């Protein structure tokens, strides 16, 4: 097997020691010594800060630093939100990427949806309809996120699920839904119901086609991102949403 080079003494140490999620890392001073990383405590702190930002460890003052289960989302979110803070119109490129990923994994994901998942999706459709007919009207953002992520939640691919989760974080941060009108939301949930009905019928081709059509809906595409970019403080606050 080929040896993978990691440009981080700390990450190399974690891999070499075969540490598992939940395992406790040695204190910084111990990590810095010759028997561990053999570098200065300051460099260890720098690398620990990076590893924490990538979501690979959890640092607590009383219990120390523990390794977390691998999650692709924090690394993608950090990079994406940095890009959005510089140019919020980059969201469109990421939206296109997300669409292609969902289409590529559509049939594989649909085959993994459980009955509980289908129930969750149906509840999202019902709740969204209720919000759109309430007074005042409420935008079903949470239902929108849950509906789509449920399709892929059982897929055994952390890179796909991580990327898709970050898409919805960015969707909320950019506030895309603020620039869509009521008729758009009605049509969106008509498509969602079609998608779900086709999935329940085992017709994944029809469900995929409905998904593709729904991503191509006219939603003020020419103006939506320029409006978002002008939204007060949006670009400057994007990075602040990263935990």
- Global pTM reads 0.84
Residues sharing a CB contact under 8 Å with residue 146, sequence separation 6 or more, in sequence order = 120, 121, 124
Distance CA 30, CA 36 (A): 7
Using pLDDT thresholds of 50, 70 and 90, give the confidence band for residue 2: low
Beta bridge partners of 66: 24, 58
Closest to 168 (Cα-Cα) out of 153, 188, 146:
146
**CATH code reported for the domain at 73-241:** 1.20.120.530
Q: What is the pLDDT of residues 16-39, one digit of tens each?
A: 999 999 999 999 999 999 788 989
Residue 174's pLDDT band, with cuts at 50, 70 and 90, is confident
Q: Write out the H or E segment, with its range, that includes residue 188.
A: helix 182-200
Q: How confident is the model at residue 176 (pLDDT cuts 50, 70, 90)?
A: low
Instruction: Tell me the per-residue pLDDT of 201-233, one tens digit each, with 9 for 90 and over.
Output: 999 999 999 999 998 875 444 344 444 445 444
User: Residue 1 pLDDT > 60, yes or no?
Assistant: no
Length of the chain: 243
Taking the domain 9-67, which CATH number applies? 1.10.10.10
- Compute the C-alpha angle 221/225/231, nearest 5°: 140
Band of residue 177 on the pLDDT scale cut at 50, 70, 90:
low
Res. 73: pLDDT tops 60:
yes
Domain residue extents for the chain: 9-67, 73-241
In contact, 7 and 54? CB cutoff 8 Å: no
Q: Residue 11: which pLDDT band, with cuts at 50, 70 and 90?
A: very high
């Amino acid at each position: 097997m080929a040896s993978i080079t990691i440009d981080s003494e700390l990450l190399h140490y974690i891999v070499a020691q075969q540490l598992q999620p939940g395992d406790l890392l040695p204190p910084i001073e111990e990590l810095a010594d010759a028997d561990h990383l053999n570098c200065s405590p300051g460099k260890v702190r720098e690398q620990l800060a990076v590893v924490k930002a990538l979501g690979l460890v959890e640092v607590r003052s009383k219990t120390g630093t523990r390794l977390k289960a691998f999650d692709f989302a924090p690394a993608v979110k950090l990079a994406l939100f940095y890009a959005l803070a510089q140019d919020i119109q980059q969201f469109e490129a990421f939206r296109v990427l997300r669409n292609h990923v969902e289409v590529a994994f559509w049939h594989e994901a649909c085959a993994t949806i459980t009955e509980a998942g289908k129930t969750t999706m149906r509840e999202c459709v019902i709740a969204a309809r209720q919000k759109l007919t309430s007074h005042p009207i409420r935008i079903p953002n949470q239902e929108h996120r849950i509906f789509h992520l449920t399709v892929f939640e059982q897929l055994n691919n952390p890179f796909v699920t991580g990327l898709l989760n970050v898409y919805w974080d960015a969707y909320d941060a950019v506030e895309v839904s603020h620039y869509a009108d009521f008729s758009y939301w009605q049509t969106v949930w008509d498509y969602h119901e079609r998608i779900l009905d086709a999935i329940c019928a085992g017709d994944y081709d029809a469900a995929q086609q409905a998904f593709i059509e729904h991503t191509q809906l006219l939603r003020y595409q020419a103006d939506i991102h320029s409006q978002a970019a002008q939204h007060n403080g949006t670009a400057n606050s994007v990075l602040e949403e990263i935990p």
